[in-house]
Chain A
Amino acid sequence: MRPTQPRFAVWRILPFLGGLLLALLVGIHFGAVQLSLSEIWQGLTGAAAGAQIETILWQIRLPRVVLAACVGAGLAVAGAAFQGVFRNPLADPFVIGASSGAALGATLALLCLAGSVTVITSTGQVPWLILAAFGGAMLIVGAVFVIAALSNLGRSAPLLTLILAGMALSSFTGALVSLIMFLNHEMLNTIFNWLLGSFSGRHWNEIAIAGPVILVSGGLLWMLSRPLDLLSFGDETAMSLGLPSGKVRLLILAAATLCTAACVSVSGVIGFLGLMAPHMTRILLGPRHGLLIPGSALLGAILLVIADTLARTVIAPTEIPVGVVTALMGCPFFLFLLISRGRQTM
């Protein structure tokens, strides 16, 4: 039985698109340096607006805003997929250890590269930090899957094992990162900044690396939205409808993990977004993944662009890590979700 949707449902996503355009404009407009709308227009269209303004607009602000949008979309899509696969409303990209693994990889890279920090994000250089974060995420998620497979010989609730193994390894890597921070006092700020998530000093380079991964893995998840719908009815229903649920689930988890790792490797650990954006989208657009996934992507992008704009401007010229802003925005929402969960089912 194919779940059908009203034909005009697609149009309900248009406000999201409009919202994203507005958020991008807000993100470009506000910053530590005030750019007027005419300056932005001149800068974007190539009319001379002053060398400094052009530098700030093209080399600093635009890449940050675009990267925030990419990461926001990626985390939200991964969150929606994890929630669907685990049939757990609290699942998010943290749950199977991708974020903490990336944090560990990045911390180790920072430790080894301490002397040559300047190199890390220069364009045209090997982006060791990003690669290390990516490697860390894949390593920890791989370990989670191996542990789950080993413990799963008796075929008892595999999803629960995955979540538990993910939580355990997250705590473990968290302790390792804390140990490194404790022993390297002078790097406390850098690592701390990474753990809280930040777009400070990120440029087109990061977008060129993470953007395509997010786009491909996110697109794959969108293509898998029908199986995701079926899986969220439960394994038995899915199997009785002819879905090879084990293989499909693995594919979805792999794509969502890849997406998360790409996001975390360029931004650090940004909390609550993967949880918040899909649930808000579900309330606005309904639970079907064909609409939920693009909707979450757009909403996640909107939220993170706004959060990063706040992080850049609230106490300018000083910056605060964007992860702090998303957590401050996310926690009240999370509590609201807990209170009203009975009303809105997945």
Chain B
Amino acid sequence: MRIYATLVYIFLYLPIGIIALFSFSAGRSASQMQGFSLQWYGKALSNPFVVDALQTSASVAFVSAVLASVFGTMAALALTGMTGRIRVLFDAMVYVAIMIPGIVIGIATLIALVTLFDTVNPWLESLTGYRLSMGFASLTAAHVLFTMSLVIVIVRARIEALDRTLIEASGDLGAGPLATFWQVTLPLLAPAILAGFLLSFTFSFDDFIIAFFVAGSETTLPIYIFSSIRRGVTPEINAIGTMVMGASLLLLVMAQVLLRRSTKAERT
């Protein structure tokens, strides 16, 4: 049993481990380990296409995670204790946004936006000289849709686990609803919201398929990696891949710690 488990862990970590190992190879070949060097990291980080894609990915991920956390938390708060048709409708949409494959969300957003732009652009251009097109905004908006659902699920679970007496006590001590929110509710929810933010950031940063459809002329890091892989396996991709995995890992560990801490604080 233990041997079996060890084998599965090897299966899980060997491929990524080998990528990481080969990213330190000094040689030009992607299939032979020759000495140790950080040159491929240097090459990757001085490649203007990589830097550009990294900046795009990071800013899309940041903006969409901020919007998703704010809107998702607002919705989660509003949905608490809510019943009726609107509640059912919202639950359905949260569920659908998570269940529908990313590829269908990407396609749907693409054709809806292109159709909208084709209708709007002729008169918009004649009025302002400006044209709408796919890019940063459409990509961010599509990412917000998906990650907002994640935030709603996470924050709502946290709200349901909250100790209501704290909120009542705050009211009894004379705090208004707004003061209670800022001084009691929000601090209690903060770890869950932050965890939701980090997961959203990771999702958006790692997403390939939605970006593939709605990024327009923008290139995100996954899109860059995907198109480079088509040209062949190189040590530079190993280095980029290792950095991306490292970054995702760091964010996830942070999210995990935050979620754990928030449940522990509740118990004591």
Do the two chains bind? Answer: no
- Residues of chain A touching chain B, judged by Cβ–Cβ distance below 8 Å, are none
- Residues of chain B touching chain A, judged by Cβ–Cβ distance below 8 Å, are none
